Amino acid sequence: MDRLRINGGAPLRGKITISGAKNAALPLLAVGLMSDDTLVLENVPHLADTKSMEGLIRHHGVAVSRRDETVTLSGAASSFDAPYDLVRKMRASILVLGPLLARYGEARVSLPGGCAIGTRPVDLHIRAMQALGAIVELADGYIQARAPQGLTGGRIVFPMVSVGATENAIMAAVLAKGSSELVNAAREPEISDLADCLNAMGAQISGHGTDTIMIEGVNSLGGATHRVVADRIEAGTFAIAAGITGGSLTLKQARPRHLDALIEVLRLTGIDVREVDDDLIVTATDRVLATDISTNPFPGFPTDLQAQFMAMMCVADGSSRISETIFENRFMHVPELVRMGADISVDGGVAFVRGRRQLTSAPVMATDLRASVSLVLAALATEGQSEVSRIYHLDRGYSKLEEKLGQCGARLERINDGKEDDDVS
Ligand code: UD1
């Protein structure tokens, strides 16, 4: 298992180009199941998760090839079965359900794994498929779904906002007979990216980016070339890295419009944030001020930046209250930050952080993707040497992290002690 050895205390300065978004690339790779024509996806980040999804789509029989950041998908699927061994690595594997069902009338998908942040059920995905006429059974750890006559358009009212269920519903409804309406849909930029790609392939989707999405079903989709939107979570992570180390980073192609909530909060902490076209320039000169946040669906403060922001609040001037409203059990970074000297107490979904001038270096362990990067940020801000173990979590979501941070003055190296990574849940 790889570890990261970090010698902290140096302010980060320089330029980082933001990669394509993991959370946009994953559903877009699943779109490869929806057409026999060629789909070319550009700006697909090199990550453990995109590799897993490419493997899953290939398993279904579609030809998948990659050259640098461009992935080409073509041909029809021949297997509609997504087995546990492939799905357990990544929760987003559930995104093949809608495409397979819509295009082939059947899908058998193992119940997923993924980051251990709460129970994360898939009931909303299943209900969306049922609303489009699918017959769904749960047996032996699998979702077995059928629509022998094809799906039919319908009205799907989501009782709570779900990014993945909205994506599955869109992909299914695109090839259903008739019109569909998605009410209380997720508004994340990754949803719009998916809809833009599908529309380029011949789908008829409107209203994406709002909470009501309308879809006119079509018989088939053609090919397209689509560029994956920038990763707002990667950009936000580096913005916080500039803040926590008292440095200055220019984040190229960061798409500031997708980071409004974070930018507003960073300004409240006293960090200077400037938007220049698609770039973001983040400069911290003084110790940051404590600021409260509450996570919310887009356009609110992203849950995927909560851990990183908490790391920064650990060294802020004053006390902050951090409310996690999307996932239960998403404070697994707290005990590790406390090992580094942070003063945090948790009450249900709320963490109270009393800022300290300095954390202390310590060996810590990553527990999920965003929690692990929060530990890297804390270590970068701390004088002395820290080691973050189990960093395979980082490789699921951050492309070339050491290289990107290293070119901005971070002192970190990857150490491999030769053991195999297995547990990726
Ligand atoms: C996606 C993102 C993830 C992000 C999350 C919230 C991807 C690949 N992952 O995950 O990084 O943290 O959005 O922004 O895009 N829920 C149910 N039943 C369901 C589905 C979800 O109760 O069937 C609940 C979840 O447990 C959670 C909430 O809905 O409490 C939101 O989850 P959801 O938006 O679905 O997250 P994901 O799509 O899994």
Binding site membership of 326 for ligand 1 (Cβ less than 6 Å) = yes
pLDDT 10s per residue in the chain (425 long)? 789 999 999 999 999 999 999 999 999 999 999 999 999 999 999 999 999 999 999 999 999 999 999 999 999 999 999 999 888 888 899 999 999 999 999 999 998 755 554 556 899 999 999 999 999 999 888 999 999 999 999 999 999 999 999 999 999 999 999 999 999 999 999 999 999 999 999 999 999 999 999 999 999 999 999 999 999 999 999 999 999 999 999 999 999 999 999 999 999 999 999 999 999 999 999 899 999 999 999 999 999 999 999 999 999 999 999 999 999 889 999 999 999 999 999 999 999 999 999 999 999 988 888 889 999 999 999 999 999 998 888 999 999 999 999 999 999 999 987 654 444 33
Superfamily of domain 3-19+230-415: Enolpyruvate transferase domain (3.65.10.10)
The domain over range 22-227 is classified in CATH as 1.25.10.10: no
pTM above 0.85, yes or no: yes
Distance 164 CA to ligand 1 centre (A): 6
The full set of domain ranges for the chain reads: 3-19+230-415, 22-227
Ligand 1, residues 163, 193, 332, 373: which to mutate, most atoms within 8 A of Cβ?
Answer: 163
3-state secondary structure labels for all residues of the chain: CEEEEEEECCCCEEEEECCECHHHHHHHHHHCCCCCCCEEEECCCCCHHHHHHHHHHHHCCCEEEEECCEEEEECCCCCCEECHHHHCCCHHHHHHHHHHHHHHCEEEEECCCCCCCCCCCCHHHHHHHHHCCCEEEEECCEEEEECCCCCECCEEECCCCCHHHHHHHHHHHHCCECEEEEECCCCCHHHHHHHHHHHHCCCEEECECECEEEEECCCCCCCEEEECCECHHHHHHHHHHHHHHCCEEEEECCCHHHHHHHHHHHHHCCCEEEEECCEEEEECCCCCECCCEEECCCCCECHHHHHHHHHHHCCCECEEEEECCCCCCCCCHHHHHHHCCCEEEEECCEEEEECCCCCCCCEEECCCHHHHHHHHHHHHCCCEEEEEECCHHHHCCCCCHHHHHHCCCCEEEEEECCCCCCCCC
Binding site membership of 327 for ligand 1 (Cβ less than 6 Å) = yes
Ligand 1, residues 120, 259, 305, 373: which to mutate, most atoms within 8 A of Cβ?
Answer: 120
Which residues participate in catalysis according to the annotation?
115
Distance 72 CA to ligand 1 centre (A): 27
| Burial category of 351 from C-beta neighbours within 10 Å (exposed 0-12, middle 13-18, buried 19 and up) | buried
Q: Which atom of ligand 1 is nearest to the CA of 118?
A: 26
Q: Which atom of ligand 1 is nearest to the CA of 369?
A: 11
Residue whose Cα lies nearest atom 38 of ligand 1: it is 164
Residue whose Cα lies nearest atom 21 of ligand 1: it is 162
Equal CATH topology for 3-19+230-415 and 22-227: yes
Binding site membership of 164 for ligand 1 (Cβ less than 6 Å) = yes
Binding site membership of 304 for ligand 1 (Cβ less than 6 Å) = yes
